[in-house]
Structure 1
């Protein structure tokens, strides 16, 4: 299966996503901020990133641009519980920044699995 990096400053979201994804057979790495994420990106083969939009320090969309520039082959799902991800301007902005999918928090297990499956196939709506 795939190696998925979860970048979110909410450890509860990380733990829930990790449990769901490990149950699906994925390897999961977790980072609370972009500095921790950089360590994984420089030392691990990552297939997919779940990236929170609102992060301490460097924001998620800004970091998404960095990821796209340095790791263009890694699929990225943008997540947020503070920004309404169902609004068309937010979807367009995230896609322009290079996200393949957008996921609202809190999410259900089926929503996460569906988004991850679609992102790994590059077939998100």
Structure 2
């Protein structure tokens, strides 16, 4: 189940694991991504908190966590190749995987159609 935020993050949930990244729209707005400041594995994060920062040739932008939980994996490929976000923002360009602590938070997120209508 893929959900979206008004701040242009996406979350794809399988069981209790949420994979999070920025949307294609956000990647296009940022331009060429040059650096991703990844969070530490094991970090507890609350919904709405800054998860990481993404820098591009145009600007730097905070990425907010759409859900609460514990960071269990980060996409270390982004260290060497941050441009993966531009190439495949909603696939190989994922940023983190979080073990959900409150699945009910997903109900507050947007469907793909609702997200596209909000642009």
On whether the aligned pair clears a TM of 0.5, the verdict is no
* Richer in strand (by share): 2
Q: TM-score, normalised by structure 1?
A: 0.23
Higher relative contact order (CA 8 A, sep 6+): 2
* Richer in helix (by share): 1
